[in-house]
Amino acid sequence: MQIFIDSADVREIREAASMGVIDGCTTNPSLVAKVGRKLEELIPEICSIVDGPVSAEVLSTDVDGMVAEGRILAKIHKNVVVKIPLIGEGLKAVRIFTAEGIKTNVTLCFSPMQALLAAKAGATYISPFVGRLDDIQYDGMELIEQLVTIYENYGFNTQILVASVRGPMHLVQSALIGAHCSTVPFSVIGQLLKHPLTDAGLEKFLADAKKMKA
């Protein structure tokens, strides 16, 4: 399973990339606003760090606006994936982008039928939000299971990009189910590395190494 970092913080992205564990990056307007930078200057820098898909989201909600914005974003770098909201106008834009060879990430997916429609429109990626479903007492991972089955049943090429990941278990379950990729915050990447037995074992090895030197 591919792992993307969900961040617009260049320092976080650079640190994760230096470990060799990320295959791409996803951003959204909230993340970009948090770092206080313009998208058109931020995306090229991220693309210089991450050699993989980099999602950049449009702000318009009508097809003409989305297409205009998306074409500009796609010209920034060959790795840019245009992020589109899962609404009717968005699917119209996805169809146009697909015909033009522009990759898309359809975001804010919360149901299997939404995902089916996005795949039929030609989406490159679909982003189901598992954490937000968990927040309203719905099992987000059940949606991932449904999407894997539906896409496999009909041979869709759209890749399932698990989003709104809240912790390591979301990632473990996604990998077991067979999702293509998952996007995770930098904090969760740190959690993936941690295990008390690893820490304890390293501490013992270092203590024993001091004895050897003595």
User: For residue 42, what are the contacts with CB-CB under 8 A and spacing of at least 6?
Assistant: 8, 10, 27, 32, 35
Of 197, 188, 198, 159, which is closest to residue 81 (Cα–Cα)?
159
Q: Which two tokens stand for residue 59?
A: 């702000």
Answer yes or no: are the C-beta atoms of 82 and 103 closer than 8 Å: yes
Task: For residue 83, indicate whether it is catalytic.
Answer: yes
Instruction: State the amino acid at position 30 in one-letter form.
Output: S
Q: Is 16 exposed, middle or buried (0-12, 13-18, 19+ CB in 10 A)?
A: buried
Name the active-site residue from 38, 83, 120, 213: 83
Just list the catalytic residues: 83
